[in-house]
Amino acid sequence: MDAPQPPKITDEDLIAYLDGELEDAACRWIEKLLMTDPAIRRRLQELERTWELLEKLDEPVADDRLTRSTLEMVAVEAAREVQETSPLQGRRFWVRWLLVLGSLLAAAGLGVAVGWFLTDDPDRQLLEDLPLLENLDCYRQIDDFQFLKGLQERMLFQEDQSDEG
């Protein structure tokens, strides 16, 4: 069986070691590798030299032309994006409001319809009693209930059969 391979060390690990960004356990692990592996020691020295050379370079200075041209590019790009999205945003705004308005109208219509179907019509009873109300003056002149029963027995209160047919 092969011996387990030690974990490989990356340049990022070595750079973090040089910058002092590693925890104690990681530092000890890298220091142990540096004592035993000459290739890792050589790579660490190369990285140290690279960092030293980078520190010797003068910092680049941005002149006014670079600043101006960068700001102009940003402004041109922002104007182009606004132009591309502006009509679309306007349409989206109106579409949203129309959808909201339509939804509210539909909800109101549904509420009215449900209310109309679930509540009793107060005029329905009045319509059912209309024949009685039309003849109320005549009925008031009748003195007792027995007289009405006698008229009914003689079949004087038959409904007009021609209306039903």
Average pLDDT of span 103-129: 84
**What domain range includes position 30?**
11-56
Q: Is residue 84 part of a domain?
A: no
> Total domain count for the chain?
2
Give Cα separations from 58 to 51, 52, 66, 67 (angstroms). 13, 12, 18, 19
Region of poorest pLDDT, from 17-26, 49-58, 100-109, 144-153? 144-153
Q: Is residue 74 part of a domain?
A: no
What is d(CA 18, CA 12) in angstroms, rounded to the nearest whole number?
A: 10
Q: Which residues contact 139 (CB under 8 A, 6 or more apart)?
A: 132
Q: Kindly report, residue by residue over 61-79, the tens digit of the pLDDT.
A: 777 887 788 888 888 888 8
Mean pLDDT of the chain: 80
pTM above 0.75, yes or no: no
**Is 88 or 50 the better-scoring residue by pLDDT?**
50
The answer, yes or no, to whether residue 42 has pLDDT greater than 90, is yes
**Is 90 or 109 the better-scoring residue by pLDDT?**
109
Q: Are 42 and 14 in contact (CB under 8 A)?
A: no
Please state, as a whole number, how many other Cβ atoms lie within 10 Å of the Cβ of residue 30: 19
Q: Kindly report, residue by residue over 7-25, the tens digit of the pLDDT.
A: 678 889 888 998 888 899 9
Q: Is residue 142 part of a domain?
A: yes
Tell which residue, 163, 159, 165, has the closest CA to residue 131: 159
The single-letter code of the amino acid at 7 is P
